[in-house]
Amino acid sequence: MGASMPLVGRSLAIFIVAIVMMSISIVTVLLRTFVRLNIIHAFGWDDALMVAALILFILLNACCMIGTMHGVGHTRTDFTSMEVYKKALVWWWLGQMLYIWASAVAKISIAVALLRLAIAKSYRVILWSIISVAIAIGLMFWLVLLLACNPIYYFWERVDETSTGTCIPMSTILDIAYFYSCVTICCDVALGLLPAFLVWKLQMNSRTKLAVGGILGLGAIAAVAVICRLPFLQFYPDENFLYSTYQIAIWSLIETGLGITAGSLITLRPLFRWLLDTNSTHNHKSPLQGKYSKPYRLSSLQSQAIRESQNTKYWRPDVDPDNNKSTIVAVSSQRKNKLSLSNSSQEALNPEPISPNHVTIQKTFVQTVTEGKK
């Protein structure tokens, strides 16, 4: 789809922010998915919701980028074609529809993740309340914007004097937007402060508590973007709507992108442990690893000849190898150092290091055949 308007000034700013926030969000969610599927082996509902939020966010960014190429960020006098102006309004309208649910689903994902750490009933009530409020306020604002004009397409067709329809007064939409933003800030702040109380009573040192609480509290960063957006809501009823509201578009993208990124970062601690464990194994690799990758008895490490030998005198000196009335029986058990989780969505805060290596324990005993007397 070719660009109908030049990417300059405010339209270029929206385009760049969309590219940057979308790229960061994709990387963090992909890392989160890798951790959950390949390291933790526990892909839960919070992960599925975050993937859904990312998909919605990608669609939102696509609408913003295509919209800027059709005039979002330009003044009305910059448009030389009424059809191009209508297309710009269509992409703006689609973008605000997607923004509401991308932001809401990201908040719900973070709340569901915190539910796995909340033991006290009061904390669970707070988290479920946040989830309910996020769904309710998102659905309300979405319906308001969806049904703001009757028929719906009159939102972008009203620039044509020949079209007919009605729309809710902009002052009403503005009041609802302020209310939505205030509730969103409260939800983000609650999601940022609650982790501090959740980790306070955990059995870990103060430094670990501070690190875990800080990581879990990253979700509150999205509230900063909402606060920064508040002063620009007043430009919503402006005649140069697409030009005056570019800050609303930018801060909405930053808010949703930060929420998705922060919500994914809180799950990446196992990735750093996995990388450190892999590097440690690689850097301190034993000379016997790789060269002798096949199983062998620890007591037969004296020489290559002994290692290849199956003669029991090297590893069971108490047994006479010439005694044909005795049989050596070996029982092996293998133990893998693998993280075990009772809940498919549970991630231990301090799990044991994950290692691809395993140890085989072999026990042997002598079975003697005794001839019975007739």
Write out pLDDT tens, residues 46-86: 889 999 999 999 999 999 999 999 888 888 888 888 888 88
Q: What is the largest CA-CA distance in the chain?
A: 118
Q: Which residues contact 183 (CB under 8 A, 6 or more apart)?
A: 133, 137
248, 325 Cβ separation under 8 angstroms: no
- Is 239 within the bounds of a domain? yes
- Is 297 within the bounds of a domain? no
Query: DSSP string of 16-27?
Result: HHHHHHHHHHHH
User: Which one, of 287, 264, 253, 293, lies nearest residue 18 by Cα?
Assistant: 253
Helix or strand holding residue 367 (H, E): strand 358-368
The CA distance from 172 to 22, in Å, is 31
- Is 259 within the bounds of a domain? yes
pLDDT value of residue 201 = 64
Is the sign of the CA dihedral 63, 55, 107, 176 positive or negative?
A: positive
Locate 225 and state its tokens: 């973007």
- Is 347 within the bounds of a domain? no
pLDDT value of residue 170 = 86
Locate 288 and state its tokens: 């016997």
Quote the domain boundaries for residue 193.
10-273
Helix or strand holding residue 361 (H, E): strand 358-368
The CA distance from 60 to 52, in Å, is 12
Locate 335 and state its tokens: 């133990």
- Is 115 within the bounds of a domain? yes
User: Which one, of 82, 139, 147, lies nearest residue 108 by Cα?
Assistant: 139
pLDDT value of residue 305 = 47
Radius of gyration of the chain (CA): 31
pLDDT value of residue 345 = 41
pLDDT value of residue 76 = 86
pLDDT value of residue 7 = 84
User: Which one, of 82, 78, 89, lies nearest residue 9 by Cα?
Assistant: 78
The CA distance from 43 to 13, in Å, is 36
- Is 348 within the bounds of a domain? no
29, 106 Cβ separation under 8 angstroms: no
Is the sign of the CA dihedral 151, 152, 157, 161 positive or negative?
A: positive
Could you give the dihedral angle defined by the CA atoms of residues 67, 68, 73 and 78, in that order, rounded to the nearest 10 degrees? -100
pLDDT value of residue 113 = 85
For the chain, list residues with pLDDT below 70: 1-3, 201-205, 208-209, 211-219, 277-374
pLDDT value of residue 20 = 95
Residue 268: give its domain's CATH number.
1.20.1070
Distances (CA, A) of 324 to 99, 338, 360, 366: 80, 42, 28, 12
Task: Please give the distance of CA 48 from its chain centroid, rounded to a whole number.
Answer: 9
Q: How many domains does the chain have?
A: 1
pLDDT digits (tens, 9 = 90+) for 17-48: 999 999 999 999 999 898 888 888 878 888 89
- Is 318 within the bounds of a domain? no
Distances (CA, A) of 317 to 299, 300, 311, 327: 11, 12, 10, 14
- Is 161 within the bounds of a domain? yes
